[in-house]
Structure 1
Amino acid sequence: MNAWGLSTEGGTQAQGLAALSDHQRAVLRCLARGLADHEIARVLAVSQRQVGVVVNEILRILNLRDRIAAVVFAHETGIIRLPVPGGALLD
């Protein structure tokens, strides 16, 4: 288990990421950036309802319990990288 409680044994995260379609990964990236469903819908030119359906598919495929776990998953797998405040201090 890693610091966030997600299992990384046996390449589980990489396998999960590979199981997602390009569209699902795009939704996951938007979700991880903190966008709400209506914002994701606008960015990806789909309906807000479709975004909700895709988020539920992502949670099911990755066996995650909620959106927060999906955001953590996205960051831990490197699908998205945001700057760390004060990152220079961590080097």
Structure 2
Amino acid sequence: MNAWGLSEGGTRVQGPETLTDRQRAVLRCLARGLADHEIARVLAISHIQVGVVVVEILRALNLRDRMAAVVYAHETGMIRLPLPR
């Protein structure tokens, strides 16, 4: 189990390779703190499609919510933000 307990409860969290390119792009945007409408603008898709893709990500990775997906992205190294000074 990792620091945030993503594999808590006996369920296994899948690796990022199980995601499509679009799902990885949405997850990276989500992990950077963008709202659905901002993700939609960045990726040139509708905000409704963003919500659909987020649900697909949660199912594919066996995660409970968006916050768990953000933690997952950081813990798996999908995104690295600079440390505050």
Asked if Structure 1 and Structure 2 have the same fold, meaning a TM-score greater than 0.5 normalized by the shorter chain, the answer is yes
Shift of 1:16: 2.3
Count of residues in Structure 1 that have an aligned counterpart in Structure 2: 81
Larger relative helix fraction: 1
- Deviations 1:6-57 (CA, angstroms, capped at 9, x unpaired): 23xxxx66x5201100000000000000000000000000000000000000
Q: Is it true that 1:23 corresponds to 2:22 in the alignment?
A: yes
Secondary structure, in 3 states, of the residue corresponding to 1:6? coil
Larger Rg, first or second structure (1 or 2): 1
Quick check: 2:27–2:54 contact (8 Å CA) kept in 1? yes
TM-score between the two structures when normalised by the length of structure 2:
0.89
TM-score between the two structures when normalised by the length of structure 1:
0.83
Query: Which residue identity lines up with residue 20 of structure 1 in the other structure?
Result: L
Aligned CA RMSD, in angstroms, stands at: 1.3
Q: Percent same amino acid among aligned pairs?
A: 79
Unaligned runs of 5+ in 2: none
Runs of 4+ displaced beyond 2 Å: none
Residues in 2 aligned to 1:24 and 1:70: alpha-carbon distance in whole angstroms: 11
- Which residue in the other structure is 1:89 paired with? none
- Which residue in the other structure is 1:33 paired with? 32
Quick check: 1:16–1:61 contact (8 Å CA) kept in 2? no
- Which residue in the other structure is 2:3 paired with? 3
- Deviations 1:42-87 (CA, angstroms, capped at 9, x unpaired): 000000000000000000000000000000000001000001224x
